[in-house]
Amino acid sequence: MLSPAKNQMKTIDESEDDLLIQADILENSGEYSKALLVYEEALQTMKRHPKLLARNGYCLYMLMRFDEAEARFTESLELKPDAVTTRFFRARCYENIGRLDDALADYYTCAETNPKADIFINIGLLHQFRKDSARARESYDKAILLDPENEIAAKLLDQLIET
């Protein structure tokens, strides 16, 4: 038989799990504002939970609240620095708030940890925006090397060569 304290802890854990399940359902159905409220409620008891902070950041990102999302992603990365998806979305926030050096730094860290074509495409786009054609081309080439069927990278490279 569980002691009253252990029984109470089990109830708290189950209620936290219920909150997370509810938030996931809302998020997966595109109800980011409602999911955000549930995540924020869960953060009241699980303040330093990297996945929860990242999910909260993602909802803020989808609501285009980029400054707040960046802060949540940063909190999450302080606890779990190797979370590539969290770092990727923080880079996207940096792009949206005009911190392009920070965005590039995060994208390059993602590329070192988990090289994917999409990451190199984003790196290429930032270099292209900055009028650095050589680095943009290098990034698109890497994207194509990783995914030879990637039509977006091929199109961006073709457009870059034509200009």
Find the mean pLDDT for residues 118-126. 97
Q: What is the pLDDT of residues 5-60, one digit of tens each?
A: 333 333 335 566 777 888 888 988 999 999 999 888 888 887 788 999 999 999 99
Q: Are 147 and 139 in contact (CB under 8 A)?
A: no
Q: Are 115 and 146 in contact (CB under 8 A)?
A: yes
Residue 3 scores a pLDDT above 80: no
The rounded radius of gyration (Å) of the Cα atoms in the chain is 20
CATH superfamily of 1-102: Tetratricopeptide repeat domain (1.25.40.10)
Q: What is the 3-state secondary structure (H, E, C) of 102-125?
A: HHHHHHHHHHHHCCCHHHHHHHHH
Residue 4 scores a pLDDT above 50: no
Find the mean pLDDT for residues 119-147. 97
pLDDT at 146: 97
Find the mean pLDDT for residues 152-158. 96
**Spatial distance between the Cα atoms of 134 and 112, rounded to a whole number of angstroms:** 20
pLDDT at 95: 97
Q: What is the pLDDT of residues 69-112, one digit of tens each?
A: 999 999 999 999 999 999 999 999 999 999 999 999 999 999 99
Q: Where in the chain is the domain with CATH 1.25.40.10?
A: 1-102
pLDDT at 41: 86
Give helix then strand counts, H and E, for the chain: 9, 0
Longest dimension (CA), the chain: 74
Token digits of residue 56? 């909260």
